[in-house]
Chain A
């Protein structure tokens, strides 16, 4: 079942070989084929627009009030591409290598190479769409360097790169709406996947304005519904981000992979109180000029500006001299946790570290720092009330990006034929840790450049397949299951709100399946999740009715999060090694660095759902490295 379908040939030729042989659909036949795309972020919007341009009929779904709101909008720092515009040694191979090393050798060579290979075309396309990337005075595109690499390959649009790329994709999508090739369903949430004769053929969606359940049928279904970092409740994600589309597909037979590989972003704002709903991300680009430090003495609560230089510990510069403040995210986040746990944390809750711009302001001048980061400094002041030109920022690691997701093969198809997963919803390219500015890239490359080859390759075989209707019993059954769950929530006679359970599951995961994990804590977590599930089933209280009701929407998402949390713990427990974002306390060097175990764990863990009462079943997809040597990932 976990055949990755990697094409033949040398690494650099694999994608060309695939494209040369992929099946095509005659232009006249494309209009007979329908595709459902769930999600309108960069992956979903770009895939929907690109397939519509080819002539397929697209039904596009998002839970937000407009396709433009999807959470890709929030990515600040940039998007990587191996253009080598800075002439500083970049190449497709270099980018491939950085990404596979950054992922701690837990991703597929062929996928990662393709990501690097398609990166340049993305920049070309985004510029053609009108994305206003940063420019040099001569008019050429500007680049900066970003966490975890030593070349400047990051393209950016101030601190709003995600928003600008998404507007490009959104406008491309709405252009296809105007041409009649895409039908938009905003404020709709997918609540079930419909599988007919083993193939994905449709979805049940709930109209969030009216509460009506709708049946939608297609020849293929694409899930581009994003990541599930919001399972931690406090995270950098939008409030509505959720795992429901992929989780419900998982329960219908699609495997989940790398489930516990969650990236904690090192530069988010720390928690300040119990009623907080999110942790705002401050772009990692700040680490280009900010220096990270904590007081050398534990529990030092002096004003940071009065702490003399020799009493500060610039621990990233000390521990990782060749990368310093630009060490990759997993390393930086874990190092921060180490300092906080050892009592060096700062701020009112002692849960933060300093990100200090005073040296940069001294050497470059306040004007230059302002030109680069003014929107970030302004945002910081709005939230905290602190002027970061005068005082160091308080930052802290926060749940951010899910490397895990639905298992997909080289064609981005899940274990259910006809069901594709794109962008953060799949597990594919980042291994156990994602490099900064690679997520926008992956979402775009999946949607603009990969799915437009691989989905037609699948659809070519569906052209003459028997056509079904929404009266098929599989639709009846799926709708009945959704209706039953909604009724159960509405009739629940408890006293606790959805947020209560969401906060509980989040706190539990932060403590036991977060920046570091251990057998003991993971086993405890699995027991606690069971109890939480029982409590959720009897103590939940939903007010309002089955029409427009945000509490009812949340209930379904929490139910899925509780089950997903258990799978995350199973995944983390089974993987007895430390790799990337997955740090098992039992597997570390004496100085606290991760110890990977290539002899026993050089595979992708793909999990199969076996029912609520059963343990999930593990399937291993061996990772074969033909072009790179497995190396210890050192940033020292």
Chain B
């Protein structure tokens, strides 16, 4: 199966009139951290549910570890550690009961690892899930997801609604999982700073379509942020060929370019303006330039 842990080809999914996924194709390579970004409702969770086999592809194909997750749920799910955004855990169980319950499904479960994480996160194993705080619940779900050392760690919005300390604990576990050779992580997030730090590969989806996909290095190399100085005040937004987005006021404007630097440069010169600064663009700037400010 080569190096593809997940391989999705041409998947479309419709809920009523809404196209949640619109002919999506992308692959997750072994050994890397893959960030899935998009606004709420972009289709991230729907996509993750297809990887888990919770939704069956109506068109297109989903392969995980070169198998169909709907037809081979035991084989596929046994190798995935999954933390959902809702962190839906059995409320009535105590933490230690949840650990034993999860262990039963995973022959590779490492009880020492689970115990050490319970200690690190200062959790009380006798506490009931329903009495846990938001952060404790997320950490408990995280332990259940990582303690069998899954080949694929799959996290849906792991930072959503959590404080900085818990977020850090979760991301450290992602680092640890991937630093051990051959393991892979896919996480969805709308926090672009986090994605820029944590990802080797980024897939940006918007309204059910892939709008940008590639290694973070390539994506960053292909985009630039320009500061443009006009000799005269611009009363309306100037038209500049080769730029993805343009924002500013009066004499000074900021543009994000994609690849077509020469086109943009020529266009800027022909308007009698000059570039006063050119620098790399952050993922946040690239995202806003691609899908618009209202999307986040």
**Are A and B genuine complex partners?**
no
Chain B residues proximal to chain A, CB less than 8 Å: none
